[in-house]
Structure 1
Amino acid sequence: MRVLLMAYGSRGDVEPMVGLAAQLRARGTEVRMCAPPDFAELLDRAGIPLAPIGAPVRPVVTGAVTGTAPMPAQGLPQRAAAMVATTYEAVAAAAGGCDAIVATGLFPAAAGARSVAEGLGIPYAFVAYFPTYLPSPHHRPFERPGRPFPPDVTDNRALWDLDVENMNVLFGTGLNAHRESVGLPPVDDFRRYVLTDRPLLASDPVLSPWPRPAELDVVQTGAWFRPDEGTLPAELEAFLDAGTPPVYVGFGSIPMRDAEDVARAAIEAVRAQDRRVLVSGGWADLSLIDDRDDCFSVGEVNHHALFPRVAAVVHHGGAGTTTTAARAGAPQVVVAQMADQPYWAGRVADLGIGAAHDGPTPVFESLSTALKTALAPETRARAGALAGEIRTDGAAVAARLLLDWAGGGDRAGAPVS
C-alpha cells in the first residue's frame, strides 16, 4: 500500500506527519510527502521522499511578520487560487499509484490535494492539530482576512455559517475555476469539501479535548509525535550538567518582530528569576546578548529529550511544542502570536501548567510576571501530574484507521468512501 501525505504550512504542520509516516511504514506502507521545500532536510533525515510544493515559505512568513515583505500584487482570492493550482500540480505528480491522501495545513492547499484524490478515485482525509480549526457550536471561527464578523452576531453557529460564506468567497471561486480546468465539477461548500464530514483531530484529549455535541463526526486520535531522534549534543549535555535546570526560550518556525529586543527581554527576565537560559534561534533568529556562562544557544535539538530537563519552556504556543512540553511535565509560558496559539495559551493557563503571556510582544516586565507563575512549585506539580495523562499513541491510532479506510476495512467510516 502507498499513502501520500500533504502538509502546507510551518514546521508544526510537517512534523506530526513525520510521526504518522513512521507508523505507516512500520505497518509496511510506502509513504511519500508533499510539503514546502523548507523541510527537505527534515524529511531526508526521516527517509521520506519529498515532492516540494512551490517556493519556500519561510521568507514569506518572515517578511509578513517583520514588515519587510513587499505588498502582494494580488489579493487573497487570487493568491489562494494560485496555491490550489500549485498544490494540485505537486500532489498529482506524486500521487501515482497511491491508495490514499492525507492533508493538513492551509485550506487552499488541502483543497488542491482533495481534488487530486477525487480525480484518482482514492480516499482522502483531512487532519487538524487543534479543535478550534474545526466547526463547533462550542467555539468561534477565525475571522478571515478582510471579512470581519458583524459585531451584533455572537452565536457561534451563526458565525460558522458566515464562515462558510467567507471561505466560498475567498477560496471557493479559485478552487472551482481550477476544477473546471481539470474537468471536475464545482464545489458548493468549500470548507466542507476540504474538511469532509469526518476529519481527524490529532490533539491530545486531555490537553485539548473535542467538545461534544457537534455536527462533525470528528475522530480524535491523540497527538502525533515525531520519532525520538536520540541523544542531545555533547556541548548541550555539558551545559545542562553544569548547573540547575535552565529555562528554554524559543519560538520555533514563528518569526518575531524586533528579535534582538525579544531575546534581551527574555534572557534578562529569566536571569531575574535566578535561572540559567537556553536560547533557540529558530525562524526568529534569536541569539545571545552577551558571553556570560549562564546562557547557551541551541539550534535544532530533540525536544522530547530536552524538555524533561528544563525548568520551564517559553514558546509561541504551537500545537507540537505545547504538547511536547506538557508530555515532559515542563511548565510553560506561551507568548501567542497567531492562529491556534491563543487557544493553546488559554489551555495552558486553564490547566494550571503554566502561564499565558499578556499579549504577543514580550518585554521584561510581562515575561517576569509570567515566569513567576510558571516557575512556582505548584505549577511544576500540576505539570508533572498532567504529563502522565498525555497519550503517546496518537500516530499509531491514526495509522490503523487510515489503513482500514484505504484498504476497505472500514470504508463506511472513511472520510471519503
Structure 2
Amino acid sequence: MNVLLSSIGTRGEVQPVLALALELRALGHHASLCVPPNDEHWVESFGLRCFPIGPDLEKGLRGAGGDPAKPFKPTPEQRRQLGVATVRHQFQVLGEAARGCDLVVGAGALQIAARSVAEALGIPYVFAAYCPVTFPSPEYPPLKMGIPHPQWLPAIGRVRRSPSRERRRFRLLWKDEARSFNEAFLVTLNEERAKLGLTAVDSVKPHIFTERPWLCADPVLAPDASGAGVQIVQAGAWFLPDPSALPDDLERFLANGEPPVYFGFGSMRGSQRTGRVLLEAARAVGLRAIFSRGWGNLEAADAGSDCISIGDVNHERLFVRVAGVVHHGGAGTTTAAARAGQPQIIAPHMYDQFYFARRVQTLGVGVYAPRREHLTVNTMISALRKCSSADMKARARALANRIIPNGATIAAERLAREFGGRS
C-alpha cells in the first residue's frame, strides 16, 4: 500500500504524521509526506519521500525580518489572496504527490484540497485532527487564533449560563465560523474541483472532516467530544520514537543538581521580558531552570550555574528528568509531559492550547497560567509551588500510566486493515 500523509503546520503537527509514516513502513507499506518546507530535510532524514507544501512556517512565525516581536499582519485583501493561493497550491502539490497512491491521509483543518485530490484519483481519504474541539459541537465553542473563549478560561470569574443557552450560543458561533471558512476557501475549492471534473461542495469544513474522522489524541487527556455529530475513530496520540541522546552540556547540567523546571514555548513567539519573569520565579522557589529557545528565541535572562538554554532536544528523555514542564499547550508537548508523569504549567497562546490548559487543570495535573504577555513573577511563583505539591505530582504520575504509548502503531495497523487490500 502506498500512502500519502499531509500535514500543514508547525513541527508539533508534522511529527505525528511522521510517526505514522514510520509505523506504516515497519508494516511493509510505503509512505510519503507533504509538509511545510522548513521540515522537508528533517522528514527526508528518515529516508521518506517529501513534497514541500505551503509557506515556510518557521520563517513566518519568527516575525518580519526574523524579529518575533514583529509578526506579519495581513490586510483583509491580503488574507483573501492568501486563501486563494493556498488552495491552488495545495491542489497542485497534492495532485502530484498522490499519483500512484492507494490512500491519502490529511491531518489538520487546513487540508482544503486533500479529499478532492483523493476523490479525483478514486482512492480513499482519511482526515485526522489533533484535538477533539476541532469538530463542531454544541458542547463547546470554536477555536479562534489568540482569542480564548470563556469556556476554556479558568473557572474563577466565569459568567455562568444555563446549559441550554450555552448550547444555542455555541451553535451560532459554529455557524459563524463555518461562514468565515467558506468565505476564505469555498469559491476557490469548487473552482479547482471543477477542473478535476468533480461536483461542487456546499461547505468546506464538513467536506474536509468527512463523517468518520480520526482523532490522534490520547482518550484520557483529550477525550472524544460527545455530541460532535460525527463518528470519531480514536486510538491514542501518534508519538515519534526518538533514540537520540541529550547534548553533553545538558547532561552535565542535569547531573549537577536537583531536577530543574523546563520552560519552552515551541513555535510561539517569545520576548526578553518572558525570560526574566520565568527565571526570577524559578529562583524564588529554589528551582534550577532549562530554557528551550524554540522559534521565539526564549532565553534565560542572565547566565548562571542554575540555568541553561537549549535548542531542540529529545523531550522523551528530558521530561522524565525535570521537576515540571512550563509550556504553550501544544498537543504534542502536553501529551509528552503527561506521558512523562510531570505536572504542567500551560500559558496558552492560540487555538487548542486553551483547551489543553483547561484539560490539565481539570485533571489536576497542572496549572492554567495567563498568556505569556500577561505572566508575572508572582503568578509564576504561585503556579510553580502548586506544581511542586505532593498531590499534583502524584496525580501526574498516575496519569502517565493511563496514556496510550503506541497510538501511531494502532493507527497504522488499522489503516492497513481497512485500506491495505487495495494495493
User: Fold conserved (TM > 0.5)?
Assistant: yes
Shift of 1:68: 4.1
* Counterpart residue number, 1:415: none
Shift of 1:93: 1.6
* Counterpart residue number, 2:156: none
What is the aligned residue count?
402
Q: Specify every segment of 5 or more residues in structure 1 that has no aligned partner in the other structure, as ranges.
A: 410-417
Distance in 1 separating the partners of 2:300 and 2:6: 36
Alignment of 1:225-236 (within 5 A): 225-236=239-250
Matched, 1:79 2:92: no
Q: Report the AA paired with residue 318 of structure 1.
A: G
179-188 vs 118-127, which moves further: 179-188
Matched, 1:42 2:46: no
Question: Identity, % of aligned pairs?
Answer: 41
Distance in 2 separating the partners of 1:230 and 1:164: 42
Alignment of 1:283-322 (within 5 A): 283-322=295-334
265-274 vs 63-72, which moves further: 63-72
Alignment TM-score, normalising by the size of structure 1: 0.91
SS of the residue corresponding to residue 308 of structure 2 reads strand
> Residues 70 and 344 of structure 1: is their aligned pair in 2 closer, same or farther, counting only changes over 3 Å?
closer
SS of the residue corresponding to residue 111 of structure 1 reads coil
* Counterpart residue number, 1:173: 187
Shift of 1:375: 1.7
Q: Report the AA paired with residue 46 of structure 1.
A: F
2:410 to 359, 379, 397: 397
1:356 to 349, 365, 368: 368
2-11 vs 356-365, which moves further: 356-365
Note if contact 1:123-1:405 (Cα within 8 Å) is conserved in structure 2.
no
Q: 1:41-71 CA distances to partner (integer Å, 9 max, x unpaired)?
A: 3213322221101331122223287334264
SS of the residue corresponding to residue 239 of structure 1 reads helix
Distance in 1 separating the partners of 2:195 and 2:62: 33
Distance in 2 separating the partners of 1:377 and 1:344: 22
Q: 1:87-127 CA distances to partner (integer Å, 9 max, x unpaired)?
A: 111111211211111111342xx121222111111111111
Alignment of 1:11-410 (within 5 A): 11-63=11-63, 66-69=69-72, 71-72=74-75, 74-107=77-110, 110-143=111-144, 155=168, 156-256=170-270, 259-361=271-373, 362-408=375-421
Distance in 1 separating the partners of 2:181 and 2:72: 25
Distance in 1 separating the partners of 2:4 and 2:48: 10
Q: Report the AA paired with residue 40 of structure 1.
A: E
Distance in 2 separating the partners of 1:205 and 1:356: 20
Distance in 2 separating the partners of 1:325 and 1:60: 27
335-344 vs 389-398, which moves further: 389-398
Shift of 1:80: 1.7
Note if contact 1:103-1:113 (Cα within 8 Å) is conserved in structure 2.
yes
Note if contact 1:2-1:29 (Cα within 8 Å) is conserved in structure 2.
yes
Distance in 1 separating the partners of 2:185 and 2:307: 46
Distance in 2 separating the partners of 1:220 and 1:154: 24
Distance in 1 separating the partners of 2:171 and 2:74: 35
